Amino acid sequence: MDTIFALASAQGKAGVAVIRVSGPQALAAGAELCGRTLPARGMTLCTLRDAAGDPLDQALVLSFTAPQSFTGEDVVEFQTHGSTAVVSAVLNALQEVQGLRMAEPGEFTRRALENGQLDLAQVEGLADLIDAETEAQRKQAQVILAGGLGKLAESWREKLIRAASLIEVTIDFADEEVPVDVTPEVTALLSDVQKDLESETAAVKIAERIRSGFEVAIVGAPNVGKSTLLNALAGREAAITSEYAGTTRDIIEVRMDLAGLPVTLLDTAGLRETDDHVEGIGIALARRRAEKADLRVFLAEDDEILDVELREGDIRLRPKADLRSDPVGAISGRSGQGMDALIAHVSKVLTNRSAQAGIATRARHRDAMLTALESLTEAQQILQRGPEFYDIAAEEMRSAIRALELLVGRIGVENLLDEIFSSFCLGK
């Protein structure tokens, strides 16, 4: 296998830059630049030199031997001064070392996956952690990176292997001393997994929102202060405001952090009847986005009939509180009246919804779990038809196991036999 290297820290000037080397030639390459043998696992302070012996930089060099490293291979990391010139010089020197090549995007993590250091869900968690902008995203990504989803999938998988092994024993070893009717235990195992899968699948949508961001749409008629409110919440002039109706014709989006949650505010076109073709397109788009939004803030008078139906959790406020003698239940982006209460309300609603999030965070996770759930439902139905159909039920269980293995990116077919022989001491 090739030995690869790349800058592991961010591009540009910094106090420290980290350059990573991974593969069978990593320790030898580190020794070549340091001019000394590196320890199997440890730290070395040395002056890095190129092939001509010219000094490049003084660096702290960390060495790790397989499999005790991020990639599961021999790894060397150079912690150099973070100037672009130093980084470029060290990378050029590594390029000259025989057997080394520049890593491709994501190749270190891919090797960690291939070498069993991470499962597929953990790889996704690592990507989410790197992209995390809010506290909720960081915490969610940390759970996935720590193997939370893999552990959950493995617990389901173990139960299904146990259930399938009981069925297999009944089919293949009927003359041995094994339980004659394994249906009650098998049914209980399948029911436990089904219940967990149903719960986790239902919670994926909220977890996805924590990862990608909740959408909060500001909805109302023209000139009620939607754009002014958006600008006030964003703390900048994100949307054009004017006294003319129809100024906002497209969806204006502003990304922000509310109570540690990623939130995208949507300023929509004013809802009204219009003969203007372009404005009509904007209004139709506003209605569609408002329907899809996780939460809507309606700016409307008490007696005003809304074009978009309120849902549970939506917020309805009277606009332009600064122009009212009675500002109760009203808000103004211009004066700031009611802003704190609105932010607190939105934060509370989304925080409560976030509490329902599961560990699985992606559509791929949901699809794998739904596939497993369908197979288990079918297996339960087949079991009720009697022992002569156990082989079909066992195949449905194996399908569910494969779906869970796809969930974390691992495929194994020998574990079913291992469970049979170890659980029932069948020395055949």
* Dihedrals phi, psi of 351, to nearest 5 degrees: -65, -40
Q: Give the three-state DSSP class for 276.
A: coil
Minimum mean pLDDT range among 189-198, 220-229, 283-292:
283-292
Confidence category of residue 424, pLDDT binned at 50, 70, 90 = very low
Judge contact between 401 and 160, C-beta under 8 A: yes
Q: In angstroms, rounded to a whole number, what is the distance separating the alpha carbons of residues 62 and 217? A: 50
DSSP states along 367-405: HHHHHHHHHHHHHHHHHTT-GGGHHHHHHHHHHHHHHHH
Confidence category of residue 276, pLDDT binned at 50, 70, 90 = low
Residue 59 identity: A
Confidence category of residue 412, pLDDT binned at 50, 70, 90 = very low
Report pTM: 0.75
Residue 135 identity: E
Confidence category of residue 333, pLDDT binned at 50, 70, 90 = confident
- Whether the bond into 24 is cis, omega within 30 of 0: no
For residue 419, pLDDT beyond 50: no
Give me Rg for the CA atoms of the chain.
30
- The model's pLDDT over 125-184, given as tens digits with 9 standing for 90+, comes to 888 888 888 898 899 989 998 999 989 999 999 999 999 888 877 766 555 555 556 788
DSSP states along 15-48: EEEEEEEESTTHHHHHHHHHTSPPPSSEEEEEEE
Mean pLDDT of the 195-201 span: 93
